[in-house]
A and B are shown apart, each in its own frame.
Chain A
Amino acid sequence: MQKVLRRLALALALAAVALWLALGANRGWTRTSVPTVIVDQVTGIEGHDYKKQFVPGVDFLGAALAGAGLLALCSTLVRKKTANPV
């Protein structure tokens, strides 16, 4: 059980870091939309359109690492199986 929890904690931490890095390593807050600029050729006005896209931020990373830490802490509270004395 202890080993399972530790492996789970490690997997969660690695997955969160990998996802955060893969989706742009955003050092701001998590975003669920990203702006795209549309230029009106006649007036020169730059309009803003938002398309739905998940960009994890430091809050996402922090929550995932905190969860992994909690799992790792739980693993220390679980007793190791001891072999029965013969």
Chain B
Amino acid sequence: MKRTLATFFPLIIVSVSTLAAPQEFDFKDPKGVNNAVFKLDAPLEAINGSANGISGKVTFDPQNPAQAKGRIAVAAGSLHVPNPMMKQHLQGDQWMDVSKFPEISFEARELKNVKTSGDVTMADALGTLTIRGVSKEVTVPVKLTFLKDKLGMRVPNQKGDLLVIRANFPISRKEFGINPKAPQDKVSDTIDLTLSIAGASTQI
């Protein structure tokens, strides 16, 4: 009996520690639905667009959501607006200058005001937002939804969990040096950002 316990005890410890370990979720989306939407509502003109070049990794422990942290990046070249000239301007050197600054990123260091109910966690993510080479400390309200064993429903022949992150927050165009001289009646200073992304954590 002692020998049996001695054999299985390390296995039990390993299994429990594996279950409790934080999981890494990869946000490179094979389905291509992960997206960031931007809206600028100026008195004379409203500009709406989106980007789908999302990547990044987030560490999340379903048993302890408050410890979540990670980095999400958006490829600046994937920014899209339906008007071709506007898109050319948007990606040009006066606006997003995508050739020089190919990535927009948010590095979340910690979560505050964490409220968890079932699989849903609401919190404020504190971190660094970098746009056009300008980094600012921001607080982003986020909603994290943990979907256990749902990866197979999304990606056939794969087992694992999904983590859905939703965030909606405003930023100032001027603060990030995005054509600060552009008239505000035509291009709003406030950019409303909405992030809707899902990451996968595969089980081997």
Question: How many B residues touch the partner, as a band?
Answer: 20 to 34
Task: Using known A-B contacts A32-B83, A33-B82, A40-B198, determine if residue A47 contacts B52 with beta carbons closer than 8 Å.
Answer: yes
Q: Is the CB of B82 within 8 A of A45?
A: no
Per-position 1/0 for B18-43, Cβ under 8 A of A: 00000000000001111101000000
Q: Tell me the total A-B contact number using a CB cutoff of 8 A.
A: 61
Among A33, A44, A50, A55, point to the contact of B164 (Cβ < 8 A): A44
Q: Is the CB of B83 within 8 A of A45?
A: no
Interface assignment of A38: CB less than 8 Å from any CB of chain B: yes
Task: Using known A-B contacts A46-B196, A47-B52, A48-B52, determine if residue A40 contacts B31 with beta carbons closer than 8 Å.
Answer: yes
Q: Is the CB of A32 within 8 A of B164?
A: no
Among A35, A38, A42, A50, point to the contact of B147 (Cβ < 8 A): A42
The chain B residue with its CB closest to the CB of A29 is B83
Interface assignment of A3: CB less than 8 Å from any CB of chain B: no
Q: How distant is the Cα of A57 from the Cα of B84 in the complex, in angstroms?
A: 12
Interface assignment of A19: CB less than 8 Å from any CB of chain B: no
Q: How far is the CB of B121 from chain A (nearest CB, A)?
A: 15
Task: Using known A-B contacts A40-B198, A42-B153, A43-B147, determine if residue A48 contacts B35 with beta carbons closer than 8 Å.
Answer: yes
Q: Main secondary structure on chain A at its contact with chain B?
A: strand
Per-position 1/0 for B46-90, Cβ under 8 A of A: 000010100000000000000000000000000010111110000
Interface assignment of A2: CB less than 8 Å from any CB of chain B: no
Q: Which 5 A-B pairs have the closest CB atoms?
A: A47-B33, A31-B82, A43-B198, A29-B83, A42-B154
In the complex, 24 of the A-B residue pairs with CB atoms within 8 angstroms, ordered by the A residue number, are: A28-B83, A29-B86, A30-B83, A31-B82, A31-B83, A32-B84, A33-B80, A38-B33, A40-B31, A42-B147, A42-B153, A43-B33, A43-B145, A43-B147, A43-B154, A45-B34, A45-B164, A45-B196, A45-B197, A47-B31, A47-B52, A48-B35, A48-B52, A57-B83
What residues make up the interface of A, taking CB atoms closer than 8 Å to B? 28-35, 38, 40, 42-50, 55, 57
